[in-house]
Chain A
Amino acid sequence: MDFPSTQFVPSRAMGTYEPIHQIGMWGENFKSISNPNISASVIVDVANKLENESETTSHEMLVPSSKHDQEASKPFDKIQRRLAQNREAARKSRLRKKAYVQQLENSRLKLIQLEQELERSRQQGLYVGGGLEAGHLGISGAVNSGIAAFEMGYERWMEEQNKQICELRSALNAQISEIELRILVESGMSHYFELFRMKSSVAKADVFYVMSGKWKTSAERFFAWIGGFRPSELLKVLVPQIDPLTDQQILDVCNLKQSCQQAEDALSQGMEKLRETVSATLASGQMGQGTYVPQVAMAMEKLEALVCFVNQADHLRQETLQQMSYILTTRQAARGLLALGEYIHRLQALSNLWANHPREPA
Chain B
Amino acid sequence: MQEAIPYKSHMAATAGGRSRLHNSPERADNGGGRRLVTNDSETSVRKLVVENAVIVFGRRGCCMSHVVNRLLLGLGVNPAVCEVDEEKEEAVLNELSIISGGGIQFPVVFVGGKLFGGLDRVMSTHITGELVPILKEAGALWL
Contacts and interface: CB of A to CB of B under 8 A. Distances in A.
Are A and B associated in one complex?
yes
A211 to B, nearest CB: 15
Contacts of A305: 62-64
Given A269-B31, A274-B63, A308-B64, A319 B127 contact: yes
Contacts of A333: none
A265 B74 contact: yes
A266 B63 contact: no
A322 B42 CA distance: 40
A33 to B, nearest CB: 51
Interface residues of B, number: 21
A161 interface: no
Interface in A267-308: 267, 269-271, 273-274, 277, 305, 308
A277 B31 CA distance: 14
Contact of B127 (A263, A269, A273, A309): A263
A316 interface: yes
A312 interface: yes
A271 B63 CA distance: 7
A260 interface: yes
A323 B126 contact: no
B129 to A, nearest CB: 6
A254 B74 CA distance: 17
Given A265-B70, A269-B70, A319 B123 contact: yes
Interface residues of A, number: 24
A255 B63 contact: no
B6 interface: no
B61 interface: yes
A312 B63 CA distance: 12
B128 interface: yes
A58 interface: no
Interface string B67-89: 11011001100000000000000
Given A262-B71, A315-B123, A270 B66 contact: yes
Contact of B67 (A255, A256, A270): A270
Give the secondary structure class of A's interface.
Answer: helix
A56 interface: no
A320 interface: yes
Give the secondary structure class of B's interface.
Answer: helix
Given A262-B74, A266-B70, A266-B74, A277 B63 contact: yes
B123 A323 contact: no
B61 A269 contact: no
B75 A262 contact: yes
B97 interface: no
Contacts of A316: 123, 127
A323 B128 CA distance: 6
Interface in A304-356: 305, 308-309, 312, 315-316, 319-320, 323
A295 to B, nearest CB: 16
Given A266-B74, A269-B31, A259 B127 contact: yes
A267 B64 CA distance: 8
Given A262-B75, A277-B61, A312 B67 contact: yes
Interface string B116-130: 000110011011110
A313 to B, nearest CB: 10
Interface string B40-63: 000000000000000000000111
Interface string A239-267: 00000000000000001100110110111
Nearest to B61: A277
A255 B71 contact: no
B113 to A, nearest CB: 24
Nearest to A265: B74
Interface string B14-53: 0000000000000001010000000000000000000000
Q: Which of B31, B126, B127 has the most CB of A within 10 A?
A: B127
Contacts of B68: 266
A267 B71 CA distance: 8
Contacts of A259: 126-127, 129
Contacts of B61: 277
A260 B31 CA distance: 19
Contacts of B31: 269, 273
